Copies of this chain bind each other. A is one copy, B any other.
Amino acid sequence: MPEENVDKPYIVTCTAPVNIAVIKYWGKRDEDLILPINSSLSVTLHQDQLKTTTTVAISRSFKEDRLWLNGKEEDITHPRLQSCLREIRRLARKRRNDGDPESTGLSHKVHICSVNNFPTAAGLASSAAGFACLVYSLAQAFGVEGDLSGIARQGSGSACRSMHGGFVEWIMGSREDGKDSVAQQVEPESHWPELRILVLVASAKRKPIGSTSGMQTSVQTSLLLKHRAESVVPRRMDEMIQAVRRKDFSAFAELTMKDSNQFHATCLDTYPPIFYLNSVSQQVIHLVHRYNRHYGESRVAYSFDAGPNAVIFTLQQHVQEFVNVVQHFFPPDTNGEDFIKGLPVTHAVLSEEVRQAVSLEPMPKGINYIISTKAGPGPRVIDDPSQHLLSADGFPRKTL
């Protein structure tokens, strides 16, 4: 925070991405510090399609810390929000004590305003992008630098992976204080430009159980989860990192599908069992395996988080046909105009051969729409002041 602006709010705006784990995180060994029982690996999605934007303002005139999410004021006393605020302020204080004059405004209150560019109802995990953006923005505002993934982790475990672009590893660490449980980039987003990602937003009747309480119950009751964390994931992490480095899509695809399935298997082994895959998800899984079997290779992979949406990984050259397959077996409500959002996908008629190879009974309206995207960069500072979500007085703009 520049010294000359202490009388009016200092405002900074940042954006941060969503990430999708291909080696899944499920289960904490420490609930407060959010330390996982296994390492995980994710792909950061491009912010052109999915991002959180957060504006932080700090001013000596603010009476209290305040927070607005998607246009509505929210309770800032939530313990995980407080963890992030406390940790950023602690780092800023440390920096000032070390003699860095940039780190001031420590006694000032903050106003935080955050929006997603995708509907919360889509069931996309927004907490990772949200906490990554919060921590990145606060760090900018308080002049804190260095690795912030350990702080984002304390907001929401998977948020630490959204602090980097491309392919990101969250190393579980072994220290009790969690200092070595951080995210680091395996490869940047430029590493594998042919990789494409499709988010299949599924219709769901029932709101699934939240991941925080779900993974607690799993850790307490699933004997298979313990085995997975201790004996399966360490080797898979190595294999996945190698697959990413070599850009070996077939290996990447199979590991991704196996790990998604194993995560959901541990949910089913939880007592009482947790179901995130509904009949639409099952149909997507069948469809992908039949499609791959038809070509005798893994051209497409699925991954499911704590909800029925499918995230599809494939290579550029297969996107068009696979989207046509999806559109055929999940006939959209409309004539399909709004069915594909994001990166353009040209429509073509699905070949009779592929249609017969897949040959599932179509599920009309099973998928609401597809978001077409790719791997993207980590959090960014937005230099254009017109993008601030807080006006010059530090309160939400009227247009929100």
Contacts and interface: CB of A to CB of B under 8 A. Distances in A.
Interface residues of A, number: 29
The 5 closest A-B pairs by CB, nearest first: A265-B269, A265-B265, A265-B268, A272-B289, A227-B227
A17 to B, nearest CB: 29
Contact of A227 (B231, B278, B279): B231
A258 interface: yes
Nearest to A206: B361
Given A278-B279, A279-B279, A261 B269 contact: yes
A205 interface: yes
Interface of A: 205, 221, 223-224, 227-228, 231-232, 254, 257-258, 261-262, 264-266, 268-273, 275, 278-279, 282, 285, 289, 361
A366 to B, nearest CB: 12
Nearest to A270: B261
Contacts of A258: 221, 269, 271
Contacts of A275: 282, 285
Contacts of A223: 227-228, 231-232, 262
Given A258-B271, A265-B224, A205 B361 contact: yes
A224 B271 contact: no
Nearest to A236: B223
7 contacts: A205-B361, A258-B271, A261-B269, A261-B270, A262-B268, A262-B269, A275-B282
Contacts of A262: 223-224, 268-269
A66 to B, nearest CB: 37
A40 B382 CA distance: 62
Contacts of A266: 224, 265
Contacts of A279: 278-279
Contacts of A361: 205
Given A224-B232, A257-B272, 12 more contacts: A223-B231, A223-B262, A224-B224, A224-B227, A224-B265, A224-B266, A254-B271, A265-B268, A265-B269, A272-B289, A275-B282, A275-B285
Nearest to A289: B272
A257 B232 CA distance: 25
Given A228-B224, A361-B205, A261 B278 contact: no
A275 B262 CA distance: 13
